[in-house]
Amino acid sequence: MHIVHELIDPDADKVVRRLSSSGYQAYLVGGCVRDLLLNRNPKDFDVSSSATPAEIKSLFRNCRIIGRRFRLAHIFFGSKIIETATFRANPRADADSGELLIHRDNVWGTDTEDAQRRDFTINGLFYDVEEELVIDHVNGLDDLKKRLIRTIGEPDIRFQEDPVRILRAIKFAARLGFDVEENTYNAIIRHRADIKKSSQPRVLEELYRLLLGGAARRSFEILAETGVMSCLSEHLGLLYGAKTGAVLDQEVSARVEQSHNSNNQDWAKGWLEHDLPSVATETVDTAPAFQSSFSDSVDHDVRMELAWNLLGQLDRMVAEGKPTSNALALACTLAAFVVPDILPDDIKPSQAADMVQELLQPLISQVGITRRDAERSVQILLAQRRLQPTRKKRSKPMVFVQRDYFSESLALHEMISAARGQVAPDLHFWRNLQKEGGIDPNQPPERKRRRGGRRRRRQTE
């Protein structure tokens, strides 16, 4: 494995070289090194250095220091940001508390300590642009060759330090097509309920990354088979038939015992000497099968098949570079469980709206979906009624086409047809109307600003 220097972003190269010439250690680090070694185009480039944020800012006028839990230097080149971090040590090294969850992470360290505190071995690689050398303190190159996702250090500890790492492990496994190393995989299941300890915005951000990273279907498959999906949202887990509770614990126990008997691994022996951790926060074990006022018309297994196929269609959209959004991804996730029920002519608009809200509301409360994304998802789902061939001539279709959510709605309409192995019969009609209206379907829609600008906070005396 080697890195072609021409694939490195010139601005990231400039940042590293300026830091190095100023007497600091500086390397490319993390996902960009991993992707370059896999001959993939990195989405962005990160730098790690012995320079502190203040020292970095003194070298770059286009720099801004951000963060409280994790202070970083953002170096701006137009709209591009080169994220530059200081080498850190594990903040737990001198801690006596029994609490493993990390709240602040600003303990400076060496490059070796920085590599060892990262999440997974494949993300712990440094690249020296001047020497053109990959620096590996964590055996990440070997795991890249084996195509394995493995935590750096004990996975039980690493996932308790930051439970969002569970979602990151699933993201990398799905996106890269890697396997999750057995010890890491079992720890994901054991600590799945710790996800609830993380802040909702961070969890939601990772959920959208799973959906919009080009591997939504595989990501959801892993979420379901590990039981993480039900810990993220009981409602979502019921819809997708995710595994839960005691069944998963028994499966892990059996795998570990088998591994212990065959390989006599120390980690397996140590784990078997302790009881399974209690998962008091996971309550879906006794939850009833998904039932709702609109779930009887189509068999749930048929809905699930359509739902999985829709996730595959979302991956196709991402691969083709078509515009997507959080709201479209959310609508795609739920469409199979409500769209068939709101299409019949005898369903009134108010009834259709109630059906969509009934399906979406539990997800809003359990995952913390923003009002903005929730409202747009409702619009996209309800628009499927208007896109049916029997309805296209009602009212004024051009007015509908000019709605800011129309392109996303038509994209979902096309995805639903493709997921059923069909071609939307009225697709050309709507595409032609878009052309007549001067609307480019390949451009992300502009969201209208609220009238009157930003709402000001009311002054109190």
Least confident interval from 67-76, 311-320, 340-349: 67-76
Q: Domain containing 64 — which CATH number?
A: 3.30.460.10
Question: Domain range spanning residue 131?
Answer: 1-146
Nearest to 418 by CA among 325, 284, 297, 322: 322
Q: Select which of 46, 156, 194, 315 is catalytic.
A: 46
- The pLDDT mean for the chain works out to 85
In a domain, 275, yes or no: no
Q: Residue 154 is which amino acid?
A: E
Residue 94 has pLDDT above 50, yes or no: no
Nearest to 14 by CA among 28, 4, 29, 1: 28
Q: Where are the beta strands (DSSP E) in 50-196?
A: 63-66, 72-77, 80-86, 125-128, 133-136, 148-149, 179-180
In a domain, 264, yes or no: no
In a domain, 306, yes or no: yes
What is the average per-residue pLDDT within 379-386?
95
What is the average per-residue pLDDT within 98-109?
63
- The position carrying tokens 């930003």 is 454
In the residue annotation, 373 being an active-site residue is answered as no
Of the two residues 335 and 262, the one the predictor is more confident about is 335
Phi, psi of 201 (to 5 degrees): -60, -40
Q: Select which of 9, 11, 44, 354 is catalytic.
A: 44
In a domain, 24, yes or no: yes
Q: State how beta strands 148-149 and 72-77 pair.
A: unpaired
In a domain, 172, yes or no: no
In a domain, 277, yes or no: no
In the residue annotation, 315 being an active-site residue is answered as no
Q: Select which of 111, 114, 119, 315 is catalytic.
A: 119
Nearest to 137 by CA among 48, 260, 265, 65: 48
**Domain count within the chain:** 2
In a domain, 384, yes or no: yes
In the residue annotation, 44 being an active-site residue is answered as yes
In a domain, 399, yes or no: yes
| Last residue within a domain, chosen from 146, 163, 186 | 146
| Last residue within a domain, chosen from 91, 126, 146 | 146
- Looking at residue 251, what is its pLDDT? 66
Span 40-87, pLDDT tens digits: 999 899 999 999 999 999 999 999 999 876 789 999 999 999 999 999
- Looking at residue 220, what is its pLDDT? 97
| Last residue within a domain, chosen from 104, 127, 146 | 146
Residue 136: strand pairing partners: 125
pTM for this entry: 0.82
